[in-house]
Amino acid sequence: MVTQAAMASATPPVAARPLSAAGGAGDTGSALVARLGGARTAGSWVGADGRPVVAVTDDATARAVRRAGAEAKVVPHSMNELKSATATLRSAPRVAGTAWAVDYRTNRVVVRADSTVSAGDWSRMTQVATRIGSFVHMERAKGSFTTRLNGAQPILSTGGRCSAGFNVTNGTSDFILTAGHCGPAGSTWFADNQGNQQLGRTVNSSFPGSDFSLVQYASGKAGAGADVVAVGGGKGVRITGAADAAVGQRVFRSGSTSGLHDGQVTALNATVNYPEGTVTGLIETDVCAEPGDSGGPLFSEGIALGVTSGGSGDCTAGGTTFFQPLNKAMSALGVRLIVSAQNAGGAQGAPPSPAPSSPASQGALAPSAASPGSSAPVTGASAGTTLLARLTDTRNVGPGLLVIAGSLIALVATRYFRAEQDRRAYQRRYSAMWG
């Protein structure tokens, strides 16, 4: 139950251990931007052929980028100018339902407002953008920017429903890393909507500002298969490491509401003004999501990238979805991703090996050729299976124990009816919050 609810499955019996995230090797686009500075560059992204592309402000810098093996694109505005524009937007009066991010590929700042933003607020924001400069682009977004409270395997509390993200550890205890808006510290989580299977408790949460939290397992350990995330249909993807996302990278998101979907990273360091508060430093994508997908994992080629925060639209019409970067969350929380010793290429107890860099940072794989990662089975009982159903399931109980199970049914039924009033109260509150 524990590994099922945490999006981990019964996998081959290999020892699990933490693996630290590591950056890519060589002069990647992000490394070049960091080395050359914000006055001479304006971001980087992954081209259609998989090579890194770096926006630069002059020909001399362009030559330096090409010598490093990347493609250069000369643009009029530096990263310092673009960041100054976003700082001005942040200093303006906050308007819920708005979001902005730097679009590296078009060399502009894109400001979006959802359907809840009034004509007056839209006009005032447009005036702010006009004063900044023509490189600030204003556009309306369909739907509304909301947190996706309620998705890969569900975890449930009286506050609503969320998705388990990734299994992490501090070396002593194991946790689920999920979205911060799912619930404050102290929230108790269950693996079923009957309240029978207690999963754990939130011990650390950050929202707004950031959007991540830690749910400590009631048992203290994630169990076997902690390196697998579910993608639906009894299938899973084995997670082998963590990395930072790159603009243009093809990514995959899993959630119990809408399943597995893919798209591209469109921007980094995005700011979203949710009704509950402002969150910064997010990954912006064109992957769809729906209410119930919050906290679910974002990954590519088996590399963990982030957890679902919120967005607009749905998986019928499409939309924009934002993710909390995983490396940033793990650093703030003092935890490490759990992967199997087999996947890390070492034995249990060996020193952690560097995690592989993301395909985007390696620059060797075109986005169109990217995949979720290596497949792994997801098995076990449904997270919603009740205690009574598990006791009477002949696949789980040997014939010799059926007599004992039959005698236990009366005891279980007695306990059930005694607690029925409390259970119904739990269900009513859960259903109301689910919407």
Other CB atoms within 10 Å distance of the CB of residue 395? 6
Average pLDDT of the segment spanning 411-432? 49
Tell me the pLDDT tens digit for each residue of 4-14: 333 332 233 33
114, 174, 211, 244: the active-site residue: 211
Locate 116 and state its tokens.
């809840």
Bond preceding residue 208 cis, omega within 30 of 0: yes
Say if residues 211 and 180 touch (Cβ distance below 8 Å): yes
pLDDT category at 188 given cuts 50, 70, 90 is very high
What's the residue count for the chain?
Answer: 435
Question: Per-residue pLDDT for 220 more than 50?
Answer: yes
pLDDT of residue 340: 65
Residue 137 catalytic? Answer: no
Buried b / exposed e over 265-299, threshold 16 CB at 10 Å, is bbbbbbbbbbeeeebebbbbbbbbbbbbbbbbbbb
pLDDT of residue 223: 80
Question: Per-residue pLDDT for 107 more than 70?
Answer: yes
pLDDT of residue 307: 97
Q: How many CA atoms lie within 13 A of 365 on its CB side?
A: 17
Comparing 114-128, 154-168, 261-275, 290-304, which segment has the lowest mean pLDDT? 154-168
pLDDT of residue 260: 94
How high is the mean pLDDT of the chain? 80
pLDDT of residue 425: 46
Residue labelled with tokens 């449904």: 382
27, 30, 77, 181: the active-site residue: 181
254, 294, 309, 358: the active-site residue: 294
pLDDT of residue 405: 57
Question: Per-residue pLDDT for 429 more than 60?
Answer: no
Residues in a beta bridge with 284: 267, 322
d(CA 152, CA 295): 9
d(CA 198, CA 2): 9
Average pLDDT of the segment spanning 46-67? 96
Question: Per-residue pLDDT for 331 more than 60?
Answer: yes
Tell me the pLDDT tens digit for each residue of 307-324: 999 999 899 999 999 999
AA identity, residue 376: A
DSSP characters for 393-426? Answer: -TTTS-GGGHHHHHHHHHHHHHHHHHTHHHHHHH
d(CA 99, CA 114): 9
Comparing 6-20, 85-99, 170-184, which segment has the lowest mean pLDDT? 6-20
d(CA 330, CA 214): 10
Tell me the pLDDT tens digit for each residue of 335-370: 999 986 655 544 333 333 344 444 444 455 789 889
d(CA 65, CA 53): 9
Q: How many CA atoms lie within 13 A of 147 on its CB side?
A: 30
Residue labelled with tokens 């729906």: 290
Residues in a beta bridge with 299: 252, 304
DSSP state of 218: T
SS3 272: strand
pLDDT of residue 197: 80
Residue 181 catalytic? Answer: yes
Residue 213 catalytic? Answer: no
